[in-house]
Amino acid sequence: MEKRTDFAKGLSIGIIMDGNGRWAKKRGLPRTAGHKKGAEVFKDITRYCNELEVASVTFYAFSTENWARPVEEVNTIMKLFGEYLTAAYDYQKENNRVVFLGDRTPLPEKFQAQMEEIETKTAHNTGTILNVAINYGGRQEIVRAAQILARRVQEGKLSPEEIDERLLSDCMYTAGQKDPDFILRPSGEHRLSNFMLWQASYSEFVDMDVLWPDFTRDDLDKAIDEFNHRSRRFGGI
C-alpha cells in the first residue's frame, strides 16, 4: 500500500498478540507451535516499528491470567521469553530502549537479572521504546500504583489531596511514556483483556481478523492507516 514515509512516526502502539493457539489448531499442530511462530512475528514487527520510527510499541506477551494455561504451554512461552532475553541485545544495536512491564517476582531469578541488565544497557537508546508486558495485568498495575502512593502518604511525603492523574501515571510501568494512540488486537476478538487499562483511556481500538502468527508488516500498515483516518475528539465535539 502507498504511504507517506512518516505515516507512523511518533505513534505509540499497543499490541495484544492473540491467536497463536488457534493458528496451531487449524494446522493440526500443538499450541506450542503457534507460540513459536508468533515469537518470530514479534521480532519482525519490532524491527519494522523501529524502521517506521514509531515512538513506542507495547507487546502483551504474557498476562497474569496466563499461568492457568497447561503447564507445557506455559513452559514453552517462558522458554521463548528466555530466548528473547538472550537475543535482546540485537535490539540494542537497533537503538531500541527495552522496558519490561509487569510483576517479575514469579519469574526465574536468571530472567529477572537479565531483564534488569537489558533495561539498564538500553536505557539511553533513542529509537523505538520496546515495551514487553510479561506477567502483566492492567488492574494489578493500577493497584500497584495506588499502593506506591499510599506508602508515600503513610510516610508523610504526600497528602491524599495531592494525588492526581499525573502522580498515578508516574507510578505506572510506562511512566514518562506517551499513552498508546491505538490498541491493536489481531485474531478477530474484541476484548481489552486487562491490557493497559489506565493508559488506554482515550486510545483508539483497531481489530483485525488475522491470527497473530499470520500477521505481517502489511497488516500493521493497514492498522496504522485505519488509525490515521480516525477522528479523535478526546471528549470534545
Query: Which residues lie closer than 8 Å to 7 by C-beta, 6 or more apart?
Result: 52, 224, 225, 228
| 50 is an active site residue | no
User: Are 209 and 188 contacting, i.e. CB atoms less than 8 angstroms apart?
Assistant: yes
Query: Which residues lie closer than 8 Å to 232 by C-beta, 6 or more apart?
Result: 202, 204
| 179 is an active site residue | no
| Residue 51, SS3 per DSSP | helix
Spatial separation of the C-alpha atoms in residues 190 and 226, rounded to whole Å = 16
Question: CB-based burial of residue 227 (10 Å sphere; 0-12 exposed, 13-18 middle, 19+ buried)?
Answer: buried
Q: Among 6, 20, 44, 66, which one carries the catalytic annotation? A: 66
Sheet holding 97-101, edge to edge: 97-101, 129-136, 56-63, 12-16, 182-185, 204-207
Cell for 17?
498478540
| Residue 137, SS3 per DSSP | coil
Catalytic residues: 18, 66
